[in-house]
Chain A
Amino acid sequence: METLLGCTDLGESSSNPSRPGVGPCEDATISPLTRAILRRDFIKGVIASTGAVASTAYLPGGSSLARASAPGITERLLSLHVNGHVRRVDVLPQETLATTLRYKLGLTGTKLGCDRAECGACTVLIDETPHYSCSTLTHRVRGRAITTVEGLEGPNGEVHPVQQGFIDELGPQCGFCTPGQVMSAVALLTSNPHPTREEARAAMAGNLCRCGAYDQYLNGIMRAAGEA
């Protein structure tokens, strides 16, 4: 806990410009210097302003009540790089990324199917690698590029080829696992643009679908990869 609160080893990305994967999703208008300034001023600024999302009312893992003004917890206020934007947010030490995304940043596309790393509905990308956000502490991804399903669309609403593939193949049934399936598939095609169907299946195996739409999802992925 000491490490998490102090965050000595998880500083934000500008101190480690070589960290892979940070670049593509960052807001291009924010230079590293600006980011540093933002960071420095962030805590003071956030405390004084209403610009940050400070609601803690939804936290499954910890209550806001006793902590709101306790000393020594200013590190709760941090910048997250989400979908190409810097989002300022008040995060408890034990808070999961799924909670932060869904209940503080309003990004409800990320779903909670189990909240214990069994189902994959909460899959997001952290520096292009798929992670279960229900089992990732938000404090551990400071400075990392986080991409949720909301971050895939182009500026004019164009969907990602994986999303288009899922539409064309009628991939989703109930749709609840779909955002997680989309994110795992995007990660697959980033690292392996032309997977075999077997490779795609292996890459998707961490995402459950009770409707059993696996065949259609694989069809959608192969279509997105230009293999269908």
Chain B
Amino acid sequence: MADSLIGEDFVPPDVHSKVTGRAKYAEDARADGMLFCRLLLSPMPHGRVRSIDASEALAMDGVFAVLDADDLPAVDPPETPVLTNEPCYVGEPILAVAAVDEATAQNAIDTITVDLEPLPFTVDPLHSLRPGGPNARSDGNAVVRREGVREIKWTTEDFDAAQDGALPVGEPSVEWSYGDVDRGFQDSALVLDETFVTAGLSHHSMEPRTAMAYWQNGKCFLYGSTQSQAFVIPGLARLIGIAPENLVYIAEYCGGGFGSKGGAYPVMAIPAHLSKKTGRPVMLRITRAEEYYTGSARPGFQGRVKIGFREDGRVAAVDLYLVQENGPYAGFGDYTSAADAVSIVYTPVAMRFQGIAVATNTPPRGAQRGPGQNQIAVAVEPLIDKAARHLGLDRVAIRRVNAPDHDSRYGGGQSDITSAYLSEALDKGRARFDWDAKQAQSGRRRGSKVIGIGVGQAYHSAGSNGFDGLVRIAPDGTLHIHTGVGNLGTYSYASTARVAADVLKYQWDHCVIERGSSERHLPWNLGQFGSNTSFTMTRTNYAAAIDAVGKLKDIAARTLGGSPDDYDIGDERVFRRTMPAAYLTYAAAAQRAIELGDRFSGQVLADNLNSMTKTSARALAGTGLIGVAKDTLPREGTVPALAAGFVQIELDLETGKFDILEYVGVADCGTVLHPQGLANQIKGGAVMGFGMACLERHVYDSHYGLPGSIGLHQAKPATYLDVPLRMEWDAVDAADPQNPSGAKGVGEPLLGCAAAALLCAISDALGGHYFNRTPVVADMIINAASGRGQSHTPLQVNTA
């Protein structure tokens, strides 16, 4: 057995259930007398409900209730409502019907008359920013952080000033800068000024979101599909209109979220409300098509970036403007995160950022794996190649010149970071991919096919702090690690739990992970999103285990004499250093903890714990030795997750198709906790990246606001045949100094680095043609290869 569980592979406790079909997802929940509900969706991109006549539906056999926006508490704009009287996109839920089965519910919906007044709409932010342009919402068109919705229009002069398809630049809603940007451009040997578009795209998790709810003894029991566990509860309780302690939330498995199920989302609350109304359990199954409406999406950018390079490739200045297609509601801060990412990946000497999030009548947007950081990676990385080509520099070398080190600064505030090993990741990937030899193959022809190679890099913040850990040593000697983080499929709930086992020097097969339901008494933890789990949860589990170690030593001293400092732990015993024969087994210590009560078995709790943690610890009180603590370890600065990807393709100039021959992904995620889990993330992130780069996009008809990509075959997530036959991975495996295990998260940049590398390889195969647009699809490649113009204009969005 290894001295430490960290860095060792293991079989996570939920894998067997996944391969045997025993794993229970939300749609697998059943309850006696369960009703089903269906939704009435908006047929138009923007409208106002004048009246609803559901009398015929309510008179039908088997129909139990109709729920509409008037039944629900209002939400504060621009938050997404559960149901609405002002639908702002095609497919937005207006009302819900609960019936004995789905067919009856759907038949009932077909009898309901909704009188809708059409309102102006738009699917293009620039359209909305024009003087007199339509607003996607009745209260405005710009979603401004910390302010809400207001109307912002650019001037005719703003639009007229932009030439040759360049992004017009008008009033932003957010702006920051550092350094002397003008001076930076003056000092540059090369200045690129480029306009680009990145498409919006759906999350399309494999599990369409489902929720089932019932009420019992004043509490709401809800089975949901979320990445996170504890973090979901406050928001979901608010949507249901109850106190968090009256919600029992069950989410043992989540069939994919990628950001779209990070916290509570509005449709989850519908079965809870309908269950309250009918007195019966209610299940809501979202269909695949509906998933493309309510299932969230990555916002697209219309952007412009001016980058000044010195002769050695060093980025002297960046001026970035981003217009975010925000959907109609709050959306997510992709555009600001994108700017922060530029500041750390290229460490420009000076930088200015301006941006605006513009409401559109397309689905609500939310965080999608690397929200903002990955859009900017696919936009800017090919431009770094363009600069390298102009300056005669190697494409890995130009990235290395600009890569951050531990002293680099982050964002507009130029704040500290904890560690950065991007140079090491580039070096490792360069060697493993054999970049120099592959470089020699670049452009090599075989009939109509040509070889291209590319390198890409990406960033995401990767850790938080201040959450609670909770462990229990039972009188049978087993360690129960309570984790409220969630189970999105990375196995990090388990790999971070192993830190507690490690601290307590437990054998892993003597440990049980408690998770998946409020009834398991879980601590308050951050959600499982934002590449944060490895950093955040190692700290909380460490804190709880350290608390348990202290209590073990204290109990031993009280029982066997001496002071706690005289004791140490090992072999699941607490023993006196100078007299190893004097010991308590963990089982005996747990029994003593119960006898001693007080803080030892959870009767007395620290004030700084979250109320959810306190409730859980109180429920466990008296059942063993309770280790419970808030993570108060120091953290100064942003935790960076960085990644580099290397791609070789063979591209057919006649068909526009390409095969990805090779992929190598390298992660800077601090110390590697779980090699197999990390490999899954590196490869899976790359698969999503290939989709983002070349396959996936929202399609909207600008005339009627109708969607053209509401199926998997239209929205095109990557298949087995779109990715390399084999994929390779590696990690820097260097510790972050501000984590007790050295760990950082990394899930998100693994998408962006692969997407960027693929785009760079395509441009390389085409001899330096840069599309300034994602996705790059086959017809665009054919047009480029044959010297024809593209079918879209440079700033067009939601194109087919």
Contacts and interface: CB of A to CB of B under 8 A. Distances in A.
Interface of A: 56-65, 107-116, 118-119, 121, 148-150, 152-153, 159, 163, 166-167, 169-179, 182, 197-198, 201-202, 204-205, 207-216, 218
A212 B683 contact: yes
Interface of B: 9, 11-12, 14-25, 27-28, 34, 36, 61-62, 100-104, 107, 204-208, 253-258, 285, 287-288, 488-491, 676-677, 679-680, 683-688, 711-713, 717-721, 723, 725-727
Given A57-B34, A170-B12, A179-B21, 18 more contacts: A58-B36, A61-B103, A64-B101, A65-B61, A118-B712, A119-B712, A148-B21, A150-B21, A167-B11, A167-B16, A174-B257, A174-B488, A175-B17, A197-B726, A205-B719, A208-B206, A212-B723, A216-B680
A176 B25 contact: yes
A175 B720 contact: no
Contact of A175 (B14, B204, B676, B717): B14
B39 to A, nearest CB: 14
Given A178-B18, A197-B726, A211 B287 contact: no
Contacts of A152: 20
A175 B18 contact: yes
A36 B631 CA distance: 68
Q: Which 8 A-B pairs have the closest CB atoms?
A: A109-B21, A212-B687, A176-B255, A175-B18, A174-B489, A212-B684, A149-B21, A173-B489
A212 B688 contact: yes
13 contacts: A108-B27, A149-B19, A149-B21, A174-B254, A175-B14, A177-B255, A178-B18, A208-B719, A210-B258, A212-B683, A212-B685, A214-B687, A218-B725
Nearest to B18: A175
B205 A210 contact: yes
B718 A212 contact: yes
Contacts of A182: 19
B681 to A, nearest CB: 8
Contacts of B34: 57
B515 to A, nearest CB: 15
A210 B103 contact: no
B353 to A, nearest CB: 31
A10 to B, nearest CB: 24
Contacts of B285: 60
Contact of B686 (A56, A204, A212): A212
Contacts of A179: 19, 21
A111 B255 contact: yes
Given A58-B101, A115-B287, A204 B720 contact: yes
A175 B717 CA distance: 17
A174 B206 contact: yes
A65 to B, nearest CB: 5
Nearest to A214: B720
A62 B103 contact: yes
A159 B104 CA distance: 40
Contact of B725 (A118, A166, A197): A197
B206 A213 contact: no
Given A65-B62, A167-B16, A212-B685, A175 B712 contact: no
A201 B14 CA distance: 26
Contacts, number: 193
Given A172-B489, A201-B720, A205-B721, A63 B104 contact: yes
A163 B20 contact: yes
A186 to B, nearest CB: 11
Contacts of B208: 112-114
A60 B102 contact: yes
A121 B27 CA distance: 14
A108 B28 contact: yes
Contact of A176 (B16, B256, B258): B256
A33 B676 CA distance: 52
A211 B730 CA distance: 19
Nearest to B203: A210
Contact of A174 (B107, B207, B679, B721): B207
Contact of B680 (A110, A149, A213): A213
A65 B64 CA distance: 14
B680 A173 contact: yes
Contacts of B14: 175
Contacts of B676: 169-170
B413 to A, nearest CB: 34
A65 B100 contact: yes
Contacts of B9: 170
Contacts of A175: 14, 17-19, 23, 253, 255, 489
B206 A176 contact: yes
B711 A116 contact: yes
A70 to B, nearest CB: 14
A77 B386 CA distance: 68
Nearest to A166: B19
A111 B101 contact: no
Contact of A208 (B15, B16, B27, B712): B712
Contacts of B20: 109, 149-150, 152-153, 159, 163
B489 A211 contact: yes
B673 to A, nearest CB: 13
B688 A57 contact: no
B369 to A, nearest CB: 10
Nearest to A117: B713
B207 to A, nearest CB: 4
A111 B16 contact: no
A173 B493 CA distance: 12
A110 B101 contact: no
Which of A175, A197, A205 lies at the interface centre, i.e. has the most chain B CB atoms within 10 A of its CB?
Answer: A175
A177 to B, nearest CB: 5
B375 to A, nearest CB: 18
B83 to A, nearest CB: 22
A198 to B, nearest CB: 7
A109 B28 CA distance: 9
A111 to B, nearest CB: 7
A113 B104 CA distance: 22
B489 A167 contact: no
Contacts of A210: 204-206, 256, 258, 688, 717
Contact of B101 (A56, A178, A216): A56
B7 to A, nearest CB: 15
B16 to A, nearest CB: 6
Nearest to A174: B489
B19 A59 contact: no
A60 B106 CA distance: 9
Contacts of A212: 683-688, 718, 723
B19 A113 contact: no
